[in-house]
Amino acid sequence: MISGKKLESGAEPSLKPLNDSVLIDPHNKKAIRQMIFRLAGPSLAEMLLLNVTQMLLMILVGRLGAAAVATVGLTSQPYMLMMVLFAALNTGTTIIVARSSGAGNMEEANRAAGQSLLFGSILSVIVVSLTFLYSDVLLRVMGANEEVIQYGLPYARIIFLSIGFSSISSTLSAILRGAGDTQTPMKINVFSGVLSIALAFVLIYGQLGFPEMGVTGAAFATLFAQALTLICLVVVMFSGRFAVRIRWEDVKQVHKSVMARMLKIGIPSSIEQLIMRLGIMTVVKICAGLGTISLAANQLVTSIIGMSFMPGFAFAIAASTLVGQTLGVRNIELAEMYVWQIRRYGMWVGGVMGASFVLLAPNILSLYTGDQAIILEGTWALRIVGLIQISQISQFILGGALRGAGDTRFPLISTLIGVWGVRVVLSYLLVYGFGWGIIGLYIAIAIDQFVRSMLIYWRFQRGAWKKIKI
């Protein structure tokens, strides 16, 4: 099933491939290209539009001053760290759903979807409770001073509450994408993102009779939008109108064999993301030692380069789904053709993004803030990041392909080497040893991305992923 193709009423799932993605001639480049953009197109549109909404939100917050920007930046790190806990379920579910739907075994795909929702819901309750209660502790761990804690604690608590909605939404979106439906998550998430910006403007600045809430208003807007997203996805998944769906019988009881397979595949990805987030948090703490201006500049640059992550994520989703589906019917040649074509398109996009960052860095930063000190700090950082966009997007795509094949351990190893062996160590050395400030920080980030790109390329070329069974 591609792009939300619906089942006829009362139709029984078959063991015939429901995905035309697995039936394409490996030498038919036109058909391969069409299938890639049929999958990646909606994801790319979704992620770019959502990133634009995040940029607009950051622009709205940026006008409130450095303390507001620092608050958002310091809160986002533990938030993303908590979301890592759901990566095992999401990755495992996506791969099983992709392989099962590729082979036409929708019974197995539906069961995996139900189990993912069950354990995702339980985990979200635990995570939300702990982060809400210890919000101030998390901000202090991130290096926030008392001024930022006092100013940003209400924001942090509301954002941590939203994990309960965003975590389950990410799980349901992963299920749909694994089955090849990238249009439904796109429509829901884009609508939600646009709504969050409209609400943020009203609540931050006190429009339409609402009180002026500042950065706390941005948090309430996010919470409401995330709740709406979850409601829409739940309705979709339980409706039974799509080939992959969730049934109450698969949510009410534990299927040990399904969960074991999901966790076997997903736990390495979860550990990988944990290593990544802890490494990024450590680098942010190093940056926090440079002062509020550098911290604010780092947050703005992070927000901007998020735009460059989106094409990589979209193409990685396509690579992961298509590799999973084609390996479900053991069409290895087609899987390879998909990946190399996706990488080619992705590297063109990365080149354009990188050139834009290098040439237009101060202009882009001036959209967020009028503070010249922040713009100056961020300009060179953004230019450095621009230089590694091609290798970064290659790493995303080939890593997605490996995960789609079930090879989730090597991306974990490459992340451990790159983030901790290169980024963290070099950041500390260049920032404090050589006194290069935020420039040294981003040189370390660039070298990390290049190293991981080379490692992932080497792994994919070896071809061990072709023989993995799940």
What does the alpha-carbon distance between residue 92 and residue 259 come to, in Å, rounded to a whole number? 9
Q: Is 253 left (phi over 0), alpha (psi -120 to 50) or beta?
A: beta
Lowest mean pLDDT segment, chosen from 51-65, 178-192, 424-438, 443-457: 51-65
Q: What is the mean pLDDT of residues 320-333?
A: 80
Amino acid at 444: A
The whole-angstrom separation of Cα 1 and Cα 19 is 5
Whether the pLDDT of residue 234 is over 80: the answer is: yes
- Compute the chain's Rg from CA coordinates: 22
Identity of the residue numbered 310: M
Listed in sequence order, the residues at least 6 apart from 207 whose beta carbon sits closer than 8 Å to its beta carbon are: 201
Segment 81-98 shows an average pLDDT of 76
- The structure tokens listed for 454 are 């080379």
Write down the pLDDT at residue 6.
42
What integer pLDDT is reported at residue 4 of this predicted model? 41
For residues 344-366, one letter each, b for 16 or more C-beta atoms within 10 angstroms of the residue's C-beta and e for the rest, the string is ebbbebbeebbebbeeebeebbb
User: Nearest to residue 95, comparing CAs of 416, 342, 326, 257?
Assistant: 326
Reported as a pLDDT band with limits 50, 70 and 90, residue 394 is: very high
| Alpha carbon 88 to chain centroid, angstroms | 13
Confidence of residue 88 (pLDDT cuts 50, 70, 90): low
pLDDT grade for 27, boundaries at 50, 70 and 90: low
Give pLDDT, residue 448: 93
Please report, for residues 155, 204, 272, the alpha-carbon distance to residue 199 in angstroms, rounded to integers and kept in the order given.
15, 8, 35
- Do residues 69 and 61 make contact, with C-beta atoms less than 8 angstroms apart? yes
Q: Of 266, 369, 367, give the one whose Cα is nearest residue 307.
A: 367
- State the amino acid at position 421 in one-letter form: G
Going by C-alpha positions, the residue among 403, 394, 390 that lies closest to residue 322 is 403
Mean pLDDT, range 352-362, rounded to an integer? 91
More confident residue, 62 or 411: 411
Which of 119-128, 289-298, 353-362: highest mean pLDDT?
353-362
Cα atoms in the 13 Å half-sphere on the side-chain side of 211: 4
Q: Is pLDDT of 174 > 90?
A: no
Question: Residue 454: pLDDT above 90?
Answer: yes
The DSSP annotation for 46-63 comes to HHHHHHHHHHHHHHHHHT
The confidence band for 23, taking pLDDT boundaries of 50, 70 and 90, is low
Q: pLDDT-based confidence at 60, cuts 50/70/90? A: confident
Per-residue confidence band for 25, with pLDDT thresholds at 50, 70 and 90: low
Sort 440 into a burial class: Cβ within 10 Å, 0-12 / 13-18 / 19+. buried
Q: What is the pLDDT of residues 263-318, one digit of tens each?
A: 777 778 778 878 887 888 788 888 877 877 887 788 788 878 877 777 888 888 88
Residues 177/94, Cβ–Cβ less than 8 Å: yes
HSE toward the beta carbon, residue 448, CA cutoff 13 A: 24
- Using DSSP, state whether 217 is helix, strand or coil: helix
Residue 374 has pLDDT above 80, yes or no: yes
pLDDT at 11: 38
| CA distance linking residue 35 with residue 14, whole number of Å | 23
What pLDDT is stored for residue 18 in this prediction?
Answer: 46
Would you place residue 343 in the very low, low, confident or very high pLDDT band (cuts 50, 70, 90)? very high
Q: What average pLDDT does this structure show over 174-182?
A: 78
According to the model, what pLDDT value does residue 46 have? Answer: 74
Q: Is the dihedral of CA 85, 88, 93, 98 positive or negative?
A: positive
Average pLDDT, the chain: 80
Task: Provide mean pLDDT across the span 151-155.
Answer: 80
Tokens 């930046």 sit at which residue? Answer: 73
Instruction: Give yes or no for residue 134 having a pLDDT over 90.
Output: no
> Under the phi-then-psi rule, with left for phi > 0, alpha for psi from -120 to 50, and beta for the rest, what region is 403?
alpha
Quickly state the pLDDT bin for 384 (edges 50, 70, 90): very high
Question: Mean pLDDT highest for which of 11-25, 133-147, 204-218?
Answer: 204-218
SS3 6: strand
Q: Is the predicted pLDDT of residue 422 greater than 50, yes or no?
A: yes
Partners of 242 in beta bridges: 6
Nearest C-alpha neighbor of 301 from the set 367, 207, 221: 367
Which residue type does 456 have? Answer: I
Q: Which two tokens stand for residue 348?
A: 């063109």
Residues in the chain: 470
pLDDT at 9: 35
Cα 224 to chain centroid distance, Å, stands at 20
pLDDT in tens, 104-122: 777 888 888 888 888 888 8
Most confident range (mean pLDDT) of 55-64, 87-96, 353-362 is 353-362
CA 393 from chain center: how many Å?
A: 13
Distance from C-alpha of 198 to C-alpha of 200, rounded to nearest angstrom: 5
Instruction: Return the minimum-mean-pLDDT range out of 133-142, 219-228, 380-389.
Output: 133-142
Average pLDDT over residues 329-341: 84
Q: What angle do CA 15, 171, 14 make, to 5 degrees?
A: 10
On whether the CB atoms of residues 22 and 332 are closer than 8 A, the answer is no
Query: Average pLDDT for residues 231-235, to the nearest whole number?
Result: 89
Q: By percentage, how much of the chain surpasses pLDDT 90?
A: 14
Q: How far apart are CA 50 and CA 234, in angstroms?
A: 20
Any residues with CB less than 8 A from the CB of 231 and at least 6 apart, and which? none
d(CA 444, CA 151): 31
CB neighbours (10 Å) of residue 255? 15
